[in-house]
């Protein structure tokens, strides 16, 4: 808290003093005579407002070299959006024109230039929606600011730190928005949340860092379970397909190759098809894109194999039923004939055993 207050005090003091210096400098520049041919001098401060400036920070050696480099940064959108850095640039322009320029001044100005150039690159990347590149450039800027602080340039480092804190917080918000976007995969969502948390931490927003980090951990834990289930399901399905091979490609091949083993393969095929369908469902829920397409292909192969084995099993059952039906019909026919003969024989036996009564006319 004390460090933040100190930075704010430094910023206010430097901005106030720089305003007067900048006015004096602009007045001096405005009184500069035109060129001998009557044309006004070129505007050395003009620069592209939407792209980072290509400046080799190791190239400048003299005060004039650094002055030209700092003027090339004038008008950059990054410095307009983060006025603390424009204050640093203005201070540096004044410093390189004041008095002698020794080795210590050269290294200090190189550190300032490195900070401004790296921040400008980070800002330009963020404007182009290259948030990861922007985050990396901002982290490199933080290293440059630390170098300024360790070299005793606390005024420059304090101003730059205030701007960087704001920039990191804005990056955290951008990463968090990306994690909420429609159609983003779960791994990408986790990565965006983790980077958002890190950006919030570097920006000094500890509360947002804690909230986003907890959300990222919960999502990562759920994804670990889903990922494991997908991998296990697909491993089992692929193992079955490899074991069954081309022999299960058609019902006839399946029956001719595996005969009674078709029934066991059919049971395995049902399990493999169910597992692959579950894997596809989980992949779709996590928006895995190309991975989902790959899983759908395997699931389709498992479904085709299941259908082939189902038809093969039905054909085999029909064949066995037909084979068993013939002797069954023969036996049933013989037994039916035997039953009829036995019944006829029984009736004949009864008739032959009955006594005959002879009646004569008029007699009893």
Q: How far apart are CA 144 and CA 146, in angstroms?
A: 5
pLDDT of residue 330: 65
pLDDT of residue 256: 79
Within 1-78, strands assigned E span none
Q: How far apart are CA 110 and CA 90, in angstroms?
A: 15
Q: How far apart are CA 310 and CA 308, in angstroms?
A: 5
Give the count of beta carbons closer than 10 Å to the beta carbon of residue 114. 20
Q: How far apart are CA 158 and CA 47, in angstroms?
A: 26
- The gap from C-alpha 172 to its chain's centroid, in whole angstroms, comes to 17
DSSP 272-325: HHHHHHHHHHHHHHTT-THHHHHHHHHHHHHHHHHHHHHHHHHHHHHHHHHHHH
Q: Are 34 and 8 in contact (CB under 8 A)?
A: no
- In terms of Cβ atoms closer than 10 Å to its own Cβ (0-12, 13-18, 19+), residue 270 is middle
**Phi then psi for 32, rounded to 5 degrees?**
-65, 135
Query: Is residue 130 classed as helix, strand or coil in its secondary structure?
Result: coil
pLDDT of residue 88: 95
Query: Tokens standing for 290?
Result: 């190309």
Query: Tokens standing for 158?
Result: 């304090």
pLDDT of residue 327: 64
Buried b (16+ CB within 10 A) or exposed e, 301-320: bbebbbebbbbbbeebeeee
Q: How far apart are CA 128 and CA 131, in angstroms?
A: 8
Residue whose token pair is 């983060």: 82
Q: How far apart are CA 112 and CA 80, in angstroms?
A: 17
DSSP 154-199: HHHHHHHHHHHHHHHHHHHHHHHHHHTSTT--HHHHHHHHHHHHHH
- Kindly report whether the global pTM for this prediction surpasses the value 0.75: no
Spans of the chain below 50 pLDDT: 1-50, 363-364
Q: Nearest Cα to 268, choosing from 297, 237, 293?
A: 237
Distances from the Cα of 342 to the Cα of 16, 345, 349, angstroms: 129, 5, 10
């Amino acid at each position: 808290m004390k460090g933040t207050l100190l930075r704010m005090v430094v910023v206010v003091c430097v901005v106030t003093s720089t305003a007067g210096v900048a006015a004096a400098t602009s007045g001096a520049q405005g009184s500069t005579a035109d060129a001998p041919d009557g044309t006004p001098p070129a505007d050395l401060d003009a620069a592209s407002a939407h792209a980072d400036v290509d400046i080799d920070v190791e190239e400048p050696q003299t005060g004039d070299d650094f002055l030209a480099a700092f003027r090339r940064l004038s008008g950059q959108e990054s410095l307009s959006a983060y006025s603390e850095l424009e204050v640093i640039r203005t201070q540096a322009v004044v410093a390189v024109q004041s008095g002698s320029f020794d080795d210590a001044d050269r290294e200090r100005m190189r550190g300032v230039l490195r900070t401004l150039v790296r921040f400008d690159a980070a800002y330009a990347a963020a404007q182009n929606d290259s948030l990861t590149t922007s985050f990396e450039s901002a982290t490199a800027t933080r290293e440059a600011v630390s170098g300024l602080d360790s070299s005793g340039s606390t005024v420059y480092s304090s101003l730059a730190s205030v701007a960087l804190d704001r920039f990191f917080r804005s990056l955290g918000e951008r990463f968090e928005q990306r994690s909420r976007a429609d159609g983003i995969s779960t791994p990408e969502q986790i990565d965006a949340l983790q980077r958002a948390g890190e950006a919030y931490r570097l920006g000094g927003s500890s509360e947002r860092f804690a909230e986003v980090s907890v959300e990222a951990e919960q999502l990562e834990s759920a994804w670990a379970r889903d990922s494991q289930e997908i991998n296990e399901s697909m491993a089992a399905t692929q193992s079955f397909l490899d074991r069954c091979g081309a022999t299960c490609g058609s019902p006839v091949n399946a029956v001719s190759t595996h005969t009674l083993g078709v029934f066991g393969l059919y049971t395995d095929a049902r399990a493999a098809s169910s597992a692959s369908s579950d894997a596809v469902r989980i992949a779709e829920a996590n928006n895995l894109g190309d991975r989902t397409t790959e899983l759908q292909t395997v699931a389709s192969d498992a479904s085709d194999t299941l259908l082939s084995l189902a038809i093969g099993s039905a054909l085999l059952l029909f064949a066995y039923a037909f084979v068993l039906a013939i002797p069954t019909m023969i036996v049933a026919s013989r037994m039916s004939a035997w039953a009829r003969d036995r019944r006829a024989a029984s009736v004949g036996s009864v008739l032959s055993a009955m006594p005959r009564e002879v009646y004569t006319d008029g007699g009893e």
